[in-house]
Structure 1
Amino acid sequence: MDEGATLENPDHAHLRMACIGFLWTNVANSKKGRMVIGTAEKGQPQGALGKWARARAELQVRQWFTEVPDFIITISAPWWLQAGDAERCALIEHELYHCAQDKDAFGTPKFSKSTGMPVYVMRGHDVEDFVGVVRRYGAEATQVQELVDAANAGPEIAAASIAHACGNCA
């Protein structure tokens, strides 16, 4: 994204050096009874894979992207085709928010000692509280006041609805 472009979001500046691969899928997916239209994950195969399974998974990723990206964002092609521009942008931004540069105990961005490159991690949502707590004690008592303020200000670009759709969230 070009600096100063209409859709540039400074919140994603920490990803400028990240390699992000995008995949399209036509395979329907759901999680906890909700349709998944997008997901973000680390590019390096994760989980409890044996050596051979990990090698196969990494080979597949290298064949797709020529290198293992820092993150892979997968998007449902059927959903994308019927979505409007605002929904598409909102989905991509949502998935990018899951991608983050790791920070140390002091909040300073982490870099690899061996390569000097940023260390990346997956990030959960920044709104990690319960509606009941906010209802009973107010947004000020939690970490959602910024979200409340943003909601009250209205959309900066356009209204969009993707809340039902993230594979990381459902």
Structure 2
Amino acid sequence: MKTKTILALLFFTAIFTFAQKTTEKPKFNQELAVKLGADQYGMKAYTIVMLTTGSAKIGDKAKMGELMKGHLANIGKLADEGKIVVAGPFLEKNKEDYRGMFIFNTKSKEEAEQWVKTDPAVQAGVFNYEIFPWYGSAALPMYLERHKEISKENP
């Protein structure tokens, strides 16, 4: 009887400890919050750019390949400069004709537009774009740092 009671007590203690650890709020890091530009909620303003299909019809596969290579290189450059924090294509067609998106590390729509216009595929008319203000976690730029650790290849 004592053994069952002790085992039950140990079991419930372990469950309580696990539940407490998973529900405890992490310690606030003021230095990191300031570095990332976080507000009191750990959030900040960004700008989302939605890429849509442009009006250019490029039939030359080599030319389109060069434009896409330039598109990806430009994304990498903007990411290295801290201007872009998320980029990627949509995997399915959609009624809005969105092809991909960027989340830019700026609240200025004008600045985001300047940056998106550096994309060779945008310049060539392969992509058009729409710009939206957005509010998200200030920790979002840290995602790219981690991505480099898990990607074996970069396009």
Whose helix proportion is higher, 1 or 2? 2
Same fold (TM over 0.5): no
Structure 1 or 2, whichever has the larger Rg, is: 2
Normalised by the length of structure 1, the TM-score is 0.21
Normalised by the length of structure 2, the TM-score is 0.22
Q: Taking CA–CA contacts closer than 8 Å with sequence separation of 6 or more, which of the two structures ends up with the larger relative contact order?
A: 2
